[in-house]
Structure 1
């Protein structure tokens, strides 16, 4: 959990994709997340977290539906949504936080 705190405690927006490899909507978001990361470059951090490997964190954040996307800035969650989004929508949401 302390590593998670280090990840999100930055002035850059941090987009986190909580996923699993067995969840079809999660898997279909992989290329979208890649595109978002490429488009944002060094203006934001994009992180993928496998909930199967990070169950304690997923429980603490009450991750129920997958994929769950969150944006943190300066250690605070400022946006959260479960379900799939397209790259342009996601890029726009992150850019609003720059």
Structure 2
């Protein structure tokens, strides 16, 4: 199994969704994330990180609120967005970097 650091080193953009099970907006984003994953299949990878179960990555990237979305490529942060976001905006950000 890949570590978080191995995962974000990818040539393919990786969108990380930092979330928590107790977070209402995170739950509301679930169907959006599923739709986005389908729309960008092959162009980007979507990974969900539960901040309560995996504390190192959120701490390393100063995730202060959930949901927070961070787009990585070759280990670098290309884009980040705290809070909810609509499907169209998310897809256009991913396509901009893929």
Residue 67 (structure 2) pairs with residue 29 (structure 1): no
What CA distance in whole angstroms lies between the structure 1 residues aligned with 2:94 and 2:17? 13
Q: Distance in 1 between matches of 2:45 and 2:22?
A: 25
Instruction: Give the TM-score normalised by structure 1.
Output: 0.94
How far 1:56 sits from its partner (Å)?
2.2
Cα distance in 2 for partners of 1:50, 1:32 equals 17
- How many residue pairs get matched? 97
Alignment of 1:54-65 (within 5 A): 54-65=54-65
Richer in helix (by share): 1
Runs of 5+ in structure 1 lacking a partner? none
Hey, what's the Cα distance between the residues in 2 that align with 1:33 and 1:19? 12
RMSD: 1.1
| Partner Cα distance (2:40, 2:72) in 1 | 15
Tell me by how many angstroms 1:42 deviates: 1.2
**Hey, what's the Cα distance between the residues in 2 that align with 1:57 and 1:97?**
22
Q: Once superposed, which parts of structure 1, at least 4 consecutive aligned residues long, lie more than 4 Å away? A: none
Q: CA deviation at 1:58?
A: 1.4
Q: For 2:85, what is the secondary structure of its paired residue?
A: coil
